[in-house]
Structure 1
């Protein structure tokens, strides 16, 4: 009976991975969410019973998060309201369940060590924002303060995060606090657990602003904030949001030189390199003046 149960389990796992890797695989109506939860539940029970190796189990979870197709892909809630079918909420629930299961799999430092390289490798492939956010949330769920991420992972994340952050603030209205916090919070946790991550992120942003073509490195490319003006506006919005978070505000205050350099670059670019119409220039000047005020104000507390 045990051999038969293992055979059934292997067949189930194979079929799940086949559909996840198949171009025909589509989440949502075609693969109902409750089926996904049931598959996860069965596999996790099999893991706890000793029928699945921990590395294989973790690999399945990571693959599910990276392959799950979220629709619509654009996370802007205003535009999404026009879409009749969306599985953003379902994917958030799925991510939460997987993070919970992963945290129950024993020593979190060992689990983190197993999935660290796999997740970083998938993140550097520039997945859609929802999938990237889910994988960042897994890292945060297993990490601690100070961070246990490897030096290599910290550098890789620091190159990826600027493009991810710019896309998030570009797609989500600044007044939609609940949505942007969901996508930015994993990054804020990373900054809190490793100040070096924030410094490197600021360095990457600063270097792209001083580049003659305003081009980000290939592993920091953006999916939505693609033109020069949108990237500069996204940079201003991102810094403003950082200063609104009390913890991040205290950390970023340690890097006044880097922030000052970014402000100088923005001021130089807006006067010479980036073309704007009157309305765009007015919006830019208002947000830029606001940024200069908050960056010159001592951190609260």
Structure 2
């Protein structure tokens, strides 16, 4: 094999062998798909061979073949149509060892295209993927990015899609945060992505690349856990004073107030449930990204308080004009939620000081 991978040789025999190897290598994905999960030993052997070829592929023709192979590997991982069905390949059904080795093979592709990254993100979002393999995918892509094998926009888009679509239960069970493996996975995944983004260089440039995408995702109102993770991504690359655009500030002014109201409505009050490495209440954990953003941009605080004030005003008007018990109950619940959200903000000394600058918005 060493000879077949050598470069600069004009030996006709080597050329024939290299052409044969290229042709045979191109068939490996098809063989993996045909084997499925019915012949695990054979699949493992093929994946191991694919990994070995990737390690040794220095011949330009073989490198080209290895890169082009990612298109056919999509069927091995996942195929999809925008707005259509998602069809998972045999990858998800293979043993962990085979999955990890298959992902290591991807590392040797000299340029990972967006379609294969989308296939991988759908695998990450699947209920059938072990969390260990999910984090392995992130590690492999981080290494590939550091080698210059992934476009920065595609790399960040992968993270944003993963964080915004990772599914957790909308309700907290009796076991709280600690007893919810999906919430813990999302938090750990966000921590890891946070670390990856921190290492990407100029934060202002990264913020410009992710700002619109993240604000758009927040506007779609995913779960409070997803929004918390998205806000943490913004916080990781923003600074004081904020570098966010005026348009983003205006949009976030609306959606941060809604997020904080959702937090106090969805997240239980502190009942002894604490997040490891975070010594404060559970609600405060979800509010902390907002604290950073409001401290960095006082105009954002102004907009958030105005929005909360308008919710209270609209509810009070409706209470005066409507006698329906259900409507009255809904209005009272909204007012109570806004009051709790304001109390949550007021509990932070720095935020309390900033709130005092806009006291008229609260009084009105």
Please state which band the TM-score falls in when normalised by the shorter chain: 0.7 to 0.9
Alignment partner of 2:300: what SS? helix
The 3 A distance-change label for structure 1 pair 41 and 228 is same
Q: 2:118 aligns with which of 17, 31, 42?
A: 17
Alignment partner of 1:79: what SS? coil
Q: CA RMSD in A?
A: 2.5
Asked if residue 48 in structure 1 is aligned to residue 109 in structure 2, the reply is: no
Q: Is the 8 Å Cα contact of residues 263 and 286 (structure 2) preserved in structure 1?
A: yes
In structure 1, what is the Cα distance between the partners aligned to 2:358 and 2:177? 41
Aligned to 2:351: 248
Mean alpha-carbon deviation: is it higher for 249-258 or for 81-90? 81-90
Asked if residue 127 in structure 1 is aligned to residue 222 in structure 2, the reply is: yes
Give per-residue Cα distances to partners, 1:37-60, cap 9 Å, x unaligned: 111111111111111111111111
What are the ranges of 5 or more consecutive residues in structure 2 without an aligned counterpart? 1-56, 58-62, 74-105, 107-113, 272-279, 320-328
Query: 1:16 deviation in Å?
Result: 5.4
Aligned to 2:243: 148
Mean alpha-carbon deviation: is it higher for 186-195 or for 164-173? 164-173
In structure 2, what is the Cα distance between the partners aligned to 1:155 and 1:145? 18
Aligned to 2:258: 163
Give per-residue Cα distances to partners, 1:127-173, cap 9 Å, x unaligned: 11111110000000110100001110001111111111111112233
Query: How many matched pairs?
Result: 244
The 3 A distance-change label for structure 1 pair 84 and 175 is closer
What are the ranges of 5 or more consecutive residues in structure 1 without an aligned counterpart? 215-225, 262-301
Asked if residue 59 in structure 1 is aligned to residue 157 in structure 2, the reply is: yes
Please give the residue correspondences for 1:116-265 in structure 2 after superposition, counting only pairs within 5 Å: 116-176=211-271, 177-211=280-314, 212-213=317-318, 227-261=330-364
Query: 1:231 deviation in Å?
Result: 1.4
Give per-residue Cα distances to partners, 1:242-281, cap 9 Å, x unaligned: 12101101110111111111xxxxxxxxxxxxxxxxxxxx
The 3 A distance-change label for structure 1 pair 106 and 227 is same
Query: 1:237 deviation in Å?
Result: 1.2
Q: Is the 8 Å Cα contact of residues 26 and 69 (structure 1) preserved in structure 2?
A: no
In structure 2, what is the Cα distance between the partners aligned to 1:20 and 1:162? 30
Alignment partner of 2:225: what SS? helix
Asked if residue 26 in structure 1 is aligned to residue 126 in structure 2, the reply is: yes
Alignment partner of 2:149: what SS? coil
Alignment partner of 2:181: what SS? coil
TM (norm. structure 2) is: 0.62
Query: 1:116 deviation in Å?
Result: 0.5
Q: Is the 8 Å Cα contact of residues 170 and 230 (structure 1) preserved in structure 2?
A: no
TM (norm. structure 1) is: 0.74
Q: 1:79 aligns with which of 156, 159, 174?
A: 174
